[in-house]
Structures are given as C-alpha cells and as structure tokens.
Amino acid sequence: MSFEGEQQRIEHTGNRKKFSAYISMVWPDQKLMYDFYDVMNSNNTIDHLENLRKCIMKVRYKRLILIWDNASFHISKMVNDYVKVQKDWLTIVHLPKKAPYLNPNERKVNQQIKSHVCANRFHEHIEEQKDAVSEYLDK
C-alpha cells in the first residue's frame, strides 16, 4: 500500500501531553547526556547543569564549556546567578540570537529525534515516547 500523494492517517486518543528534553553533547567523546522534564524552566535548567557537573566529574574533566542558545530559561536571572557561582568548572558561550543553524544539537540531535522518533508515530502513553527517545539517544 502506497501513501504517496495522500496524507497518512494515524489513529490517536487526542491526548496532547508532552515532555521536554535537555540534551547536551559532551565532547570529545560525543556522549549525549539528557534529562526529561515536564517543562523547560530555570529550575530544570539548573538541575540539568548539576547532572552535567556530576557526569564530567565522574570522567575527571576539569571544565565544561557549554554552548547555549538564548532561550529564556538559559538567560534567566536565576540561571545566571547559578552560573556565576560555578565558574571553577563551567563556562557558558551564548550563540547569537535566532541562529539555530550554529547549534550542532539542533541538526545532529533535535531534528533527528523529531523525524526518526516522533514524526508520524503515536505512543499510547508519554512514558512510551520517553523510552523511544531514550533508546534513540543511547544507540
């Protein structure tokens, strides 16, 4: 059966529940470190940074240089105050505004997840979608 030229129909329950993923690519080994949250906000950004800190300390890296876009939760006062206190291990480099093409995560990770894991697929429960994203990121 070919769907060429016609819209594929995917049955669903109408549930619009969603989740957010903080995904960081740690160089030079290109390991992906990720956390799932209900929303992206300052508290969850700091929590992800703490998880990154634990990860880099485990592998004995001395410093993390993080390249970020200018999302509101990246530049909030709460996150800026946190980052200022973490100068011994954390450096933040902000990309120019409206320049997602400069962010390797956008092309190498986010777009791939959207097209290979999420597009045209229905997951009965949100946990199933998280599992599918985790499986994709872990391969």
CB of 73 closer than 8 Å to CB of 44: yes
pLDDT tens across 17-57, in order?
778 999 988 777 778 889 999 999 999 999 999 999 998 88
> Token match 């998280």: residue?
130
pLDDT tens across 56-115, in order?
888 888 888 998 988 899 999 999 999 999 999 999 999 998 887 888 777 778 888 888
Q: Name all domains of the chain by residue range, CATH numbers in brackets.
A: 20-138 (3.30.420.10)
Would you state the pLDDT for residue 92?
94
The tokens for 27 are 């160089």
Would you state the pLDDT for residue 102?
87
Would you state the pLDDT for residue 6?
67
2, pLDDT greater than 60:
no
Question: How far, in Å, CA of 84 to CA of 113, rounded?
Answer: 32
Task: Name the more confident of 7 and 134.
Answer: 134
Question: How far, in Å, CA of 2 to CA of 99, rounded?
Answer: 38
**Distances in Å between the alpha carbon of 14 and those of 20, 39, 113, 114?**
19, 20, 21, 19
Confidence of residue 14 (pLDDT cuts 50, 70, 90): low
**Distances in Å between the alpha carbon of 41 and those of 24, 45, 92, 101?**
16, 6, 17, 23
**Percent share of the chain, pLDDT over 70:** 88
Would you state the pLDDT for residue 8?
60
Q: Which helix (H) or strand (E) holds 16?
A: none
